[in-house]
Structure 1
């Protein structure tokens, strides 16, 4: 994941790209509203599964719910970087497993608006820490 000019660019690995039917996700930096790291990868999942691959411990694709469409590419063995986005973005939330989510979060924090809040709670805020 990198910031290139006015876009956040998420590059998917070969398996994720096949499942998502795309190699990159491009998001406007101006749409970023919140960023955080979720240690329980499955807590970033909300809404109904749509296009993608949904296997135990590996979820890649789009999910639809009341807040809008989310994109996820997460693995059970790693924490997930979660970005909540505003209406200028195609997605309401993007959650991905990245090699160093804490460093990526620190990289993205300067792009948050001054009135940014912590990432929105999942649809089910009382989810236990294990699936």
Structure 2
């Protein structure tokens, strides 16, 4: 089973030999500075976003490999019925999310706590993962528009 380890200034997702073969991927290594948020997802299926790009997803057994969505690419190594430690990463990282199953809730909370203490730039403002940005909404916000259209200036007229 995949495991998350801290090695120096890097976070490593170490895969078993058969996971490397099934997921078509070597161990994943990202700098700890790339970790944005750490959460524990009690429902394994909530960690899955997008469609399978590389690897294997066998319903009811495991989902392993990279998944593509509008926000980028995630790397997952999850098993049904187990909690998942989710690491949101800053956009400069090769993945947007790393999701790895753990044996139980206690192990997940312990691992999440250690990773939060190890990563220098963790955003601890919320315990929940943030939703993926929707391209149309992102474009509107950058153009100075709200989701409801252009903002109307508030003028008070006296007649």
Q: TM-score range by the shorter chain?
A: 0.7 to 0.9
1:40 matched to 2:43? The reply is yes
12, 18, 23: which is aligned to 2:21? 18
For normalisation by structure 2, the TM-score amounts to: 0.70
Distance 1:98 1:71 in 2: 15
Distance 1:115 1:77 in 2: 28
CA RMSD, 1 decimal? 1.8
Give ranges in structure 2 of 5+ residues lacking alignment. Answer: 134-159
1:83 matched to 2:87? The reply is yes
Cα gap change, 1:49 to 1:114, in 2 (>3 Å): closer
Q: Is the 8 A contact 1:43 1:122 kept in 2?
A: no
Distance 1:71 1:115 in 2: 20
Give ranges in structure 1 of 5+ residues lacking alignment. Answer: 124-131
Q: Is the 8 A contact 1:33 1:112 kept in 2?
A: no
Q: Find the structure with the greater CA-based Rg.
A: 2
Structure 1 ranges of 4+ moved more than 3 A = 114-118
1:19: how far off?
1.2
Q: Is the 8 A contact 1:30 1:88 kept in 2?
A: no
Q: Is the 8 A contact 1:78 1:97 kept in 2?
A: yes
Distance 2:47 2:27 in 1: 20
Whichever structure has more strand as a proportion of its residues is 1
1:7 matched to 2:7? The reply is no
Q: Is the 8 A contact 2:116 2:122 kept in 1?
A: no
Distance 1:17 1:114 in 2: 28
Q: Report the secondary structure of 1:73's partner residue.
A: strand
Q: Report the secondary structure of 1:42's partner residue.
A: helix
Q: Is the 8 A contact 1:84 1:93 kept in 2?
A: yes
